[in-house]
Amino acid sequence: MDAKDKRILKELIVNSRIPISMLAKKVGVGREVALYRINNLKKSVIIGFFTNINYKLLGFKRYGCYLQLKGITSEKEAKFFEYLNDHPFVTYFGPVIGKWNVVFDILSRDEQHLQIIVAEIKSNIKEYLESFVIASTGLEEEIYPTKFVEVIINQRPKKIPDKKINIDDVDNNILKLLATNSRIEYSELSKKLKLSANAIKYRIKNLEKSQAILGYTISVDYTKLDLQCYCIQFKTQGDNQRFISYLRSHKRVIMYYKHLGQENWDLDIGILVKDAMELREFMIEVRNSFETLKIHDMYLVTHIIKDNIAPEGIFYS
């Protein structure tokens, strides 16, 4: 993958709905060359194109789930992974190595809805379940996806509204179609929704303006970039703004979630590194620069099966 491929990835991470002619101009190649390169990237690095839906405006909350399994065969585990991948309220999901075996996120309307979902998932895997921990991620979260291609965008994330709004069935269907295919053409949307392309453009602009749509991006297979993803759980004390600023500016940190309701840790960060030595250097730097932080746990994400894509269930509730 050369510099132009990396530039294409960066532009698609920032806005995967960018017109191909504009993308070609930004990268400095012809339209056909841009299409050719994107198709090649889809065969390797790009897993999919999706829309970042503001689930909070649809009345949902996010919960991180950590599973420890015991005595499970590879075949049973694969079936369980298929079940989670198809679950209508499971968003991010990936197998991990460490204390936990599986980490995934659930979107639920409220605590009662969450308990129903969790009971259903536990029932599916009950004979192999060692432990199941839930952490609310509702306090604070930031993701820095351009760091996949070592690009740091130095701007403070905008405050995202979280008060539920009412949208009609047409807008709901637009969001559902865009969720898993951010590059879907207006002509195809028009055909599926039986609405004019101009009417759909108007509605999408309003969804963007209300921040029901937060942006358009891609899912990247970081293993094809010779990178490993580790998640580190910290227990923090006092004001952590200096640490948050450090995470934003660090070239390898791709996200953090601040949790509620966990006495052992309250901050989860994700970091992409080339190898264990680079991870060790990061940990030493953190330990020397932020003495009040305590590491609770660390695990390796082997690969992402389902990225932060809005699951189908939130469009039918």
pLDDT of residue 160: 73
**What is the residue-level pLDDT of the chain in tens, covering all 317 positions?**
889 999 999 999 999 999 999 999 999 999 999 999 999 999 999 999 999 999 999 999 999 899 999 999 999 999 999 999 999 999 999 999 998 999 999 999 999 999 999 999 999 999 999 999 888 766 678 888 888 888 887 656 667 777 788 889 999 999 999 999 999 999 999 999 999 999 999 999 999 999 999 999 999 999 998 999 999 999 887 768 889 999 999 999 999 988 876 678 888 999 999 999 999 999 999 999 998 888 888 999 999 999 889 999 999 86
DSSP assignment of 59-114, as one string? Answer: T-EEEEEEEEE-S--HHHHHHHHHHHHH-TTEEEEEEEESS-SEEEEEEESSHHHH
Distance from C-alpha of 179 to C-alpha of 173, rounded to nearest angstrom: 10
Residue 166 CB neighbour total at 10 angstroms:
8
How far apart are the C-alpha atoms of 266 and 235, rounded to whole Å?
Answer: 5
In sequence order, the 6+-apart residues with CB closer than 8 A to the CB of 74 are none
Domains of the chain with CATH codes: 3-44 (1.10.10), 61-146+221-301 (3.30.70.3460)
* Residue 254 token pair: 């791709």
